[in-house]
Chain A
Amino acid sequence: QVQLQESGPGLVKPSETLSLTCAVSSFSISSGYHWGWIRQPPGKGPEWIGNIFHSGTSYFNPSLRSRVTISVDTSRNQFSLKLTSVTAADTAVYYCVREAYDILSNWGQGTLVTVSS
């Protein structure tokens, strides 16, 4: 069973860049599927951020596209998220996910990122 684990700073200052990494185990990213990020602000529903294929092809939520970068490192079997110019509105639990056909089949446990000075 594929497993995903997010890691990164839990506190980011306003205007700085949020950086998270998702380590994938029991499945090689190079084998296929899209790999993505979802966030959930406190008390609100999930929001899809974007995804990437192992080849590097990626798609982003139009509302975040200008601030988001997603990259993949097949040698380390992990992928990463960068979100620039963060504000308090970016405070959320961030999940990494595997997209299998038309479902978000596997989720990490999530990591809370708080934007505060």
Chain B
Amino acid sequence: SSELTQDPAVSVALGQTVRLTCQGDSLRSFFASWYQQKPGQAPVLVVYGKNTRPSGIPDRFSGSRSGNTASLTITGAQAEDEGDYYCNSRDTSGDHWVFGGGTRVTVL
């Protein structure tokens, strides 16, 4: 079982805002990274660290952390934002990595 917990699914109306959450003890010590995955493709890093987006990722994606919970916010969701989103961080030992079970985002 994952040491990071995510909601299985969420839906958002086109142009609206949605927040995905990821809970786990390791997040008190380590920032989460967030990946977007579309069918048949490798995961793509969208946010990492305190709130950093890799080059090419739209600024509607943002990250935050409070206590043991990390959040990914999509502000003004677009149809192309549909997919599975996974959070990831080091585990509490710092030597291993863990993933959340993923959240499927549907844009209505």
Contact = CB atoms under 8 A, between A and B. Distances in A.
Contact of A109 (B33, B42, B48, B90): B42
Interface in A63-117: 95, 99, 102-105, 107-110
Contact of B2 (A45, A59, A61, A99): A45
Interface stretch (B12-20, B65-73, B75-83, B92-100): B92-100
A46 B85 CA distance: 11
B48 A110 contact: no
Contacts of B101: 45
Nearest to A100: B48
A36 B86 CA distance: 18
B45 A46 contact: no
B97 A104 contact: yes
A95 B90 CA distance: 18
Contact of A46 (B30, B31, B86, B95): B86
Given A45-B2, A61-B96, A102-B31, 14 more contacts: A36-B97, A47-B99, A59-B95, A59-B96, A95-B42, A102-B48, A103-B33, A103-B45, A103-B48, A103-B49, A104-B97, A105-B45, A107-B43, A110-B42
